[in-house]
Amino acid sequence: MQTLAIAHHAALNPDELAFEFTRSGGPGGQNVNKVSTRVTVRLDLTACSAFTPEQTARIRRRLATRISRDGVLRVVASRHRTQGANRDAAVSRLVELLSAALDRPKPRRRTRVPASVKRHRREDKTRRSQQKRDRAWRPHD
């Protein structure tokens, strides 16, 4: 397997990934009972040389719910019937998660509500209140 390109000029060496194969749950008959198709990919962030300390801290912060106390990121794939397809799915999901974690969100630019929008809202409120007033029951004088 070749190096995995991740956002922000980081490349992950596949040798740093640990794979574990177990039997998948759910329906599937004999295939599920006999074949270990579920794949668990583990990446030890403390021993990973692909990321700078700042990137590692960012990954830990953004993916805190997926990282164990030992600093191991874990991704599981069991959708497909074959081990190879699940392995590819798990690796691509890992790359996707890491890319999203390293992605810096664009800073929000504050904008003002246009005057025309404010005016339309006021007109709609006036129109609606008039409509409700017209519906109200009034005794005849």
The C-alpha torsion from 70 through 72 and 77 to 78, rounded to 10°, is -20
Q: Which CATH architecture has domain 4-102?
A: 2-Layer Sandwich (3.30)
d(CA 101, CA 10) in angstroms, rounded, equals: 12
* Helix residue ranges, H only, 35-111: 53-62, 83-102
Using the Cα atoms of residue 116, residue 117, residue 118 and residue 119 in order, give the sign of their dihedral: positive
Over 90: is that where the pLDDT of 110 sits? yes
Mean pLDDT of the chain: 87
Give the total residue count for the chain.
Answer: 141
Using one digit for the tens of pLDDT, what is the confidence trace for 50-96?
A: 888 888 899 899 999 989 998 899 999 988 888 889 999 999 999 99
pLDDT at res. 8: 66
Predicted model pTM? 0.69
pLDDT class for 105, splitting at 50, 70, 90?
Answer: confident
Asked if 61 and 54 count as a contact pair (C-beta separation under 8 A), the reply is: no
Q: Sketch the domain layout of the chain as residue ranges.
A: 4-102
Over 90: is that where the pLDDT of 21 sits? no
pLDDT class for 125, splitting at 50, 70, 90?
Answer: very high
66-87 burial by CB neighbour count: b if 16+ within 10 A, else e? Answer: ebeeeeebebbbbebeebeebb
